[in-house]
Chains A and B, each alone.
Chain A
Amino acid sequence: MRFNDAVIGLSLSVLAIMVLFHVDTFPSLPLQDVGPATFPRALAWVLLICSAYLIFNGIRTRKSKPAVSLGSWAYSPRAWRRLALVPIAVLTYTFAAVPIGFIPTTMLLLFVLVTDFSNGRWFVASMISAVFTVVIYLVFAHILLVPLPPGLLVGIFQ
Chain B
Amino acid sequence: MEALVYALELVFVPEVLIVLFLASVFGLFIGSIPGLTATMAVALLVPLTFFMDPVPAIGAVVATTATAIFAGDIPGALLRIPGTPASAAYVEESHLLSKKGRLELALGSNVICSAIGGLVGGVVFILAAPSLAEIALLFSSYEYFWLTILGLSCAVIISRGSQVKGTIALVFGLFLSTVGLDITMGYPRFSFGSVDLAAGISILPALIGSFAISEIIRKVTTTDLKGEKIQQEIGNLLSGVGGVLWRFRLNVLRGSTLGTLIGALPGAGADMAAYISFAIGKQYSKEKNNYGTGHVEALVDSSSANNASVSGAYVPALVFGIPGDTLTAIVIGVLFMKGINPGPTVFMNTPEFVYAIFIMFLLANICLVPLGIMAIKLSRYVLSVPPSLLFPMILLTCVIGTFAVHNAVFDIWVMLALGIIAYLMEENEIPIAPMILGLLLGKLVEDNFMASAIKADGQFLEFFSRPMAAFLGILTIAIWVLPAIFKIWRSLRQ
Q: Do A and B bind each other?
A: yes
- Point out residues on A near B: beta carbons under 8 Å: 1-3, 8, 12, 19, 22-23, 26-27, 29, 32-36, 38-40, 43-44, 46-47, 50-51, 53-54, 57, 71, 73, 79-80, 82-83, 85-87, 89-91, 93-94, 97, 102, 106, 109-110, 113-114, 117-119, 124, 128, 132, 136, 139-140, 144-146, 148
* Chain A residue at minimal CB-CB distance from B405: A146
In the complex, which residues of chain A have a beta carbon less than 8 angstroms from the beta carbon of B413? Answer: 94
CA distance A28 to B430 in the complex (A): 34
Given contacts A1-B427, A83-B220, A146-B404, A89 and B395 within 8 Å (CB-CB): yes
In the complex, which residues of chain A have a beta carbon less than 8 angstroms from the beta carbon of B416? Answer: 87, 90-91
Stretch at the interface among B66-74, B177-185, B235-243, B275-283: B177-185
Residue B397 is within 8 A (CB to CB) of chain A in the complex: yes
Number of cross-chain contacts by CB at 8 Å: 157
22 A-B contact pairs sorted by A residue (CB < 8 Å) = A27-B187, A29-B184, A34-B453, A35-B184, A39-B445, A40-B178, A46-B167, A46-B171, A50-B171, A79-B222, A80-B221, A86-B220, A86-B395, A94-B403, A109-B396, A113-B395, A128-B389, A132-B396, A144-B51, A144-B52, A146-B404, A148-B404
In the complex, which residues of chain A have a beta carbon less than 8 angstroms from the beta carbon of B232? Answer: none
B392's partner among A27, A33, A93, A113 (CB-CB below 8 A) is: A113
- Point out residues on B near A: beta carbons under 8 Å: 48, 51-52, 164-165, 167-168, 171-172, 174-175, 178, 182, 184-185, 187, 189-190, 213, 216-217, 220-222, 225, 386-389, 391-393, 395-397, 399-400, 403-404, 409, 412-413, 415-416, 420, 424, 427-428, 430, 445-446, 449-450, 453-454, 458
CA distance A132 to B222 in the complex (A): 25
* Chain A residue at minimal CB-CB distance from B183: A36
CA distance A117 to B392 in the complex (A): 8
CA distance A144 to B405 in the complex (A): 11
Check B174–A43 contact: CB distance below 8 A: yes
User: From residue A17, how far is it (CB to closest CB) to chain B in Å?
Assistant: 13
* Chain B residue at minimal CB-CB distance from A34: B453
CA distance A32 to B184 in the complex (A): 11
* Chain A residue at minimal CB-CB distance from B175: A43
In the complex, which residues of chain B have a beta carbon less than 8 angstroms from the beta carbon of A35? Answer: 182, 184-185, 187
Check B187–A26 contact: CB distance below 8 A: yes
Check B400–A47 contact: CB distance below 8 A: no
In the complex, which residues of chain B have a beta carbon less than 8 angstroms from the beta carbon of A50? Answer: 164, 167-168, 171
B189's partner among A40, A44, A110 (CB-CB below 8 A) is: A40
Check A39–B185 contact: CB distance below 8 A: no
In the complex, which residues of chain B have a beta carbon less than 8 angstroms from the beta carbon of A12? Answer: 168
